[in-house]
Structure formats: C-alpha cells, structure tokens
Amino acid sequence: MSDIIVSASPHVRKKRTTRGIMLDVLIALLPATVAGLVFFGARAAVTIVLSVFGAVATEWVWLLCKKTSIKAIARQFDLTSVVTGLLLALTLPPLDYKYFYIPLLSSIFAVGVAKMLFGGTGKNIVNPAIAGRVFAFISFQSPMVSGWMRPLFGSVDSVAVSSATPLTSMLGDSIGAMGVSNLDLLLGTGVMGCIGETCKIALLVGFVYLVVRRVVKWQWPVIYVAVCGLISCAMGKSMNYFLPSVLSGGLLLGAIFMATDYVTSPNNKWACYVYYVLLGVVTALLRFGTKIEVVSFAILLLNLIVPLLNMWIRPRPFGATPIPQLIKQKCADLKAKLGKKKQKEGEQQ
Amino acid sequence: MIKPQEIRKIGVDGLLRNNPTFRLVLGTCPTLALTTAAMNGIGMGLAVTFVLIFSNAIISALRKVIPNEVRIPAFVLIIATFVTLLRMLLDKFIPSLYESMGVYLPLIVVNCIILGRAESFASKNPVVHSAFDGLFTGLGFTLALTLMGAIREILGAGAIFGVTLWDFRIEFFSSSAGAFFVYGISIALFNFVYTKVESRMHKRKFEKLYGHQELTVQEEAK
C-alpha cells in the first residue's frame, strides 16, 4: 500500500492548453476575417493589424514593466491578446485611415485596463474585446457611427442600406422598407457593418469548427440567439422579425465568440442557462429601446452579474439531497416554525 | 497660539496624509460629477475650503457649549449657515460659477469632508488649529479636484482651463465612466507615490536616530 502515492488533484488531465484553445478560436475567426478583408479591403486590413498590434504590444510592455524577461514572456505567451485584438478589430467598422488611432487606443484600453489591471489572463471581469469596443463607441461616436463603408462588391442599390446599418433601418421602419433580403444578410453581400459581422456564413463556419473542436458548447450561442430572435418577434408582433433580427448586427459574432468567453461566463450548467437567456432578453429589449446595436453593451452588462450567478447557482454535489425532497424539507421546517410562533402568540394571549 | 511646527503638521495632514479625496475617499459625489473641467474643480474646491475654514472655526469655538447628544444637527446647522452665505455671495459676484456648480453647491451642506473634519478635528481642538485644518484640508480637496479636472479636460475635451489645445478628444473621459476610471487611477498612483515617500522618510528618521545600522531580521527577533 505504501508504494502508492496519491498526488494532489486534479487527477484527470487533458493535453489542452490555453494557447491551444486560443489557437482554435483564432482558426475559427479566420473565415470571418477573410470575409471582412474581401468585403472591405485595405481599410479592414489596416484596422485589424493596428488592433492586434496594440493588444499584443500592451500585454508585452505591461509584463516588461513588471520585470519579466522577454524570454519568459514569449514562453508564457498564450495568444489571448491576439484573440482580443482580432475580435476587437472585427467589431469595429472599417475606418478611414485618418482614424488610425481608434483601433490602437481601444485595443490598448481593452488589454491594459480590462485585462491587465485586473491581473491578466483569466482574471478579467469583463471581456476585454467588448470593453475595447464600448470604449471606442463611447469615445469616438462620430467616426464609429457614421464611418460605415460600402462593401467592395454586392448589390448595393437600395436607399435603405446607404444611410445606416440594416439593423437601424429595420428598427426604424417596417420590414418591407429594409431593402436587404435575408440571403444578403446571411452572405454579407451589400450589407454595411463592422468588419467581422457582416458575413454570417463565415461566422457560422467558425462556430461549427469551435463546436467540433469542443471549445464551445453548441447550446449556449443557440439559446442566446434564439431567445433574442423570439423576443424581437414578440416586440414586432410578427414572426418575420426572427431572421432579420438574428442575421443583422453583431448578434452572431457576439453570441459565438464573445458571450462564450470562458473567463466571463458562468462556470456551471444552470447558471449558464440563466446567463444566456438573460443575454437574449437584454439584447432584444435594449435593441428596441435604444434603436442602436447593443450586443456589446448587453454582454458587458451581463458579464458583471456573472460572479453573482456563480455565487447563487451552484452545482449540486453528488449525493446531495434531491431538489424536490429539499423543498419538502424546507416547507416542513417553515410549518414547524409558524406553528411555534402561533403557539407562542396563543400563550401570550 | 499656534506654533509653526503644528501648522506644518496640520498642513501635511490635510494636503497629503489625510488628503480627503485620495486618502480618505470622502466627498466623492462632487469629485465625480464636477471634474469634467479643471476650472470646475478649482471652483468647487475653493467653495468647500471657504465653508470648511469658517465652519471649523465656529464649531471649535462652540465645542464646549454644544451637548454631545445633539452635536451632529448642531454641526449641520452651522455648516448650512455658511453654505447659504456662500451661495448668496457667488450668486451676486460670480454668477457663471454659481450656475456651473448647480445643485452641487447646496449639497456642500451634506459633504462628508466638512462633517468629518468637524467631528474628528474641530470638536476636539482649539479655534486657530481648526481654522488651519479647514484651510489645508480644503486646499487638499481643491488640489485633487483640479488635478482630476485637468486630466479629464485634456483627454476628454482637448483643452485646459477652457483653452483649446488640440482637436483630438476621447469622449470616454468626459463621461461618468471616465470619471470613475480617472478617480480610481489617481487614487492608486497617489497612494503608490505617497507610501514610497513615507517609507523613505521613516527610514531616514530611523537612520538619524540610530546611525546607519541595518536593521536585520535577527536583531528584530532579539
């Protein structure tokens, strides 16, 4: 017996590393990035390069200031900042070259403030890319809102598309005036929007890859998107709203790549159900309330309640009292307590 | 009367060691709301300084008359008197500042810095000491607000004291989220520098007393 030594937990190990998972995410983002480059050309390329550079540089400079040697940094480098930079760039509109500082500053904010200030990888309370996007959106409203660019090809001929994103016109008018068919929305042809969010097919390909590689569970994005779509239908009182509301804006990008971030989503099943349903509800309501695209704000808001969800909804340990029995017990306890109170009152009287 | 060393001690306390904004984190409401511009910060800071000096002096003079049980209402009454006075003065002589401070001017009555100094200093110390304490605490508050206001104005509006510097603005810093961000960062930096300086000063004092001995762990253990 004494020959056997039990090491400390965890006993079940996988060869998976943070770097491997992040590489998977990068591969999954590849189709969307390529689609963005095809649709928006050099502008998209510049935005993506600047944003990724800003994110990685911020992380490395921060670690250098903490007196870590370059070798150690390179050894520990887990690609999270590359993912943050790329995701952030995909949520920015293809900006004019004179706004080169927007992707730079917002990626510096994303990594420096939202991630490193809270202790680095795995300790951030909000998704860094989302924080960066919201920073850009609040700080540079005019280029972020009016900086939309016509895609390089596609059938842009309707008036509705030329003024704003399809989503804004959808929220503003009835569906008939939208001018973009669901197929256009799905392929991203002739749709204005942020670099990574217009081509939904590319995002879906990435989603399938993530599910196959088991990086993301398929339920979560599906729940989020479905709830958001259904509530949009309820608000618009027509089932025709489902596809446009799901396929326009940054909903798919947010649902697949941002809401499912390991660090900022709840860590057990039931809390996750609550989280993603709430996300759908908040996104749909905010969309109709504010008439702008709010997926990033919804995710930011819900990220903040994740610690509470983790605290309130805990996984039940194996062998714990089953829930129906627990409820019965509680009821019995309550009855006993009430009975005692009544008795006491009776005695006092 | 008051000695120069005492003034120095009260000064260091008010400006640095007990800086109301960065060390005690008091009076956060005007700090967050009014620091969109450096000028607002100065205005608010000086208004609070004015009230602090007089309320501290009066409360200190009356400290033996006011019964302990009703001291808080009595303090608030005295503070409110001076705030009302200040409002009338500002309305008459500097109407632009009066308007820019809006609701935060009457709210000085319930500013916890003033009540805090009354409770912790003025009700226990002589009149002149208390007046000096009010002056330096108020100046510490002014300094902090001006600093934050300057940072937010430069980054958020591309200007300083109303003079436009450049056309580049990060509107994040003018918003309330930016206020919290700048506040947090300034508290962190201030405390970082302050503790560094303080520990160095302690070391120097120690060396003055005991010569250049190194205090090792073994000696401490003995």
Taking only the tens place, the pLDDT of each residue in B67-110 is 989 989 999 999 999 999 999 999 999 888 888 888 888 888 88
Domains contained in chain B, number: 1
CA torsion, ordered A271, A273, A279, A284, to nearest 10 deg: -150
HSE of B106 in the Cβ direction (CA atoms, 13 Å)? 3
pLDDT at residue B137, as a whole number = 92
Indicate if the pLDDT at residue A123 is higher than 80. yes
**A104 pLDDT higher than 60:** yes
What are the structure tokens assigned to B35, written together? 């620091």
pLDDT at A156 over 60: no
B171 touches chain A (CB under 8 A): yes
Residue A45: inside a domain, yes or no?
A: yes
Q: Do B177 and A138 touch (CB under 8 A)?
A: yes
Q: Give pTM, 2 decimals.
A: 0.81
Per-residue DSSP letter, B121: I
The CATH number of residue A95's host domain is 1.10.3430
Task: Compare all CA atoms of chain B with the CA of A136 and give the residue at the minimum distance.
Answer: B172
Asked if the model's pLDDT at residue B183 lies above 90, the reply is yes
Cβ distance of B171 and A105 shorter than 8 Å: no
Domain that holds residue B138: 4-221
As a whole-number percent, the residues of chain A with pLDDT over 90 amount to: 18
Check residue A152 and give its pLDDT: 59
Confidence bin at A85 (pLDDT 50/70/90):
very high
Compute the nearest-CA separation of A74 from chain B (Å). 29
Task: Please list every residue in chain A whose beta carbon sits closer than 8 Å to the beta carbon of residue B170.
Answer: 105, 139-140
User: In terms of C-beta density within 10 A (0-12 exposed, 13-18 middle, 19 or more buried), how is residue A92 classed?
Assistant: buried
Contact A106, A135 (CB under 8 A): yes
What is the average pLDDT value for chain B, to the nearest integer?
A: 86
> Which residues in chain A are closer than 8 Å to B181, comparing Cβ atoms?
113
Q: What is the average per-residue pLDDT within A203-231?
A: 90
Domain count, chain A: 1
Is the bond leading into B106 cis (omega within 30 degrees of zero)?
no
Domain-located, residue A203? yes
Instruction: Name the residue among A101, A113, A141 with its Cβ closest to that of B171.
Output: A141
Six token digits for residue B68 = 């302990």
Evaluate whether residue A162 is within a structural domain: no
8 Å CB contact of B175 and A138: yes
Per CB-CB distance under 8 Å, the chain A contacts of B177 are 138
B175 close to A (CB below 8 A): yes
Q: By mean pLDDT, which of A17-21, A28-32, A236-240, A324-328 is the weakest? A: A236-240
d(CA B66, CA A16): 71
Could A138 and B181 be called an inter-chain contact, meaning their C-beta atoms sit closer than 8 Å? Answer: no
Ramachandran class of A120: left when φ > 0, alpha when ψ lies in -120 to 50, beta otherwise: left
Give the span between the Cα atoms of B156 and A328, in whole angstroms: 58
CB pairs under 8 A between A and B: 16
Tell whether A304 is within 8 A of chain B (Cβ).
Answer: no
Q: Which residue of B has its CA nearest to A135?
A: B172
Structural domain range at position A201:
18-148+167-312
The answer to whether A113 contacts B181, with C-beta atoms less than 8 Å apart, is yes
Looking at CA atoms only, how far is residue B171 from chain A in angstroms? 4
Is there a domain that residue A198 lies in? yes
Please determine, for residue A161, whether its predicted confidence score (pLDDT) is greater than 80: no
Q: In which band, very low, low, confident or very high, does the pLDDT at A175 lie, cut at 50, 70 and 90? A: very low
Residue A4 resides in a domain: no
Residue A334 lies in a domain: no
Extract long-range pairs of A302-308: CB within 8 Å, 24+ residues apart.
A302/A259, A302/A275, A302/A278, A303/A125, A303/A126, A303/A127, A303/A130, A303/A264, A304/A125, A304/A126, A305/A278, A306/A125, A306/A264, A306/A265, A306/A266, A306/A275, A307/A125
What's the whole-number average pLDDT of chain A? 81
